[in-house]
Amino acid sequence: GLRGGAIYMDSGSFGGTLTGLSVNGNSSGFEAGGLFIDNNGTTDTLISNSIVWGNNTQQILTWGPVQVSYSLVQGGLTGGTNISTAAPLFRDTNGVDDVLGTPDDNLRLQDTSPAIDAGNNAAVPLDAADLDEDLDSTEVLPVDFDFNARFANMAAIPDTGNGSVPIVDLGAYEVFPSPLIFKDSFESVE
């Protein structure tokens, strides 16, 4: 539509939380190809451990209080924990069909991405829906968007994030020290 090509969030006076997003290749006809957050209330909307890059117009546009931390946002944001001067180095932003914004886009990180080990472990949400089916919905979410482990350490990459090693990567996918076969993002783990 006109605002928020990927996400339009009307959070009113309640704020909200967005964590572990990979937002790329979206567009809007007017404002904020990435995220448009309409937060006219007094409670902040929190964005963390996310990548917002390669969307048309502004990456993030906000009306009201928003805090962005431990994120990589094209064009920059204020805050010492954000990365704004380096591309995220996605594996293949426009996929096999060479069309940006289609389902085959690969937003997993290359092994040299500045988003590796750059997140905030304390911002990873709880596994309230028990996505790993271990009957523990009080643990920190242990899986990424591929249902692979959410925390993996790349020893060759300096840890720039916050927390004990392993430190979570920015975005929806975790990078691993050895090659993995990725599951379809929508199939259930068995």
pLDDT, mean of residues 134-162: 93
**60 contacts 40 by C-beta, under 8 angstroms:** no
pLDDT, mean of residues 74-98: 85
Q: Per residue in 46-69, pLDDT tens?
A: 889 999 998 888 888 787 778 889
Band of residue 12 on the pLDDT scale cut at 50, 70, 90:
low
- 34 against 131, higher pLDDT: 131
| 3-class DSSP state of 122 | helix
* 185 pLDDT above the threshold of 70: no
Angstrom CA distances, 47 to 19, 119, 132, 146, 179, stand at 6, 12, 24, 21, 29
The pLDDT of residue 187 is 45
> How many whole angstroms separate alpha carbon 73 and alpha carbon 85?
9
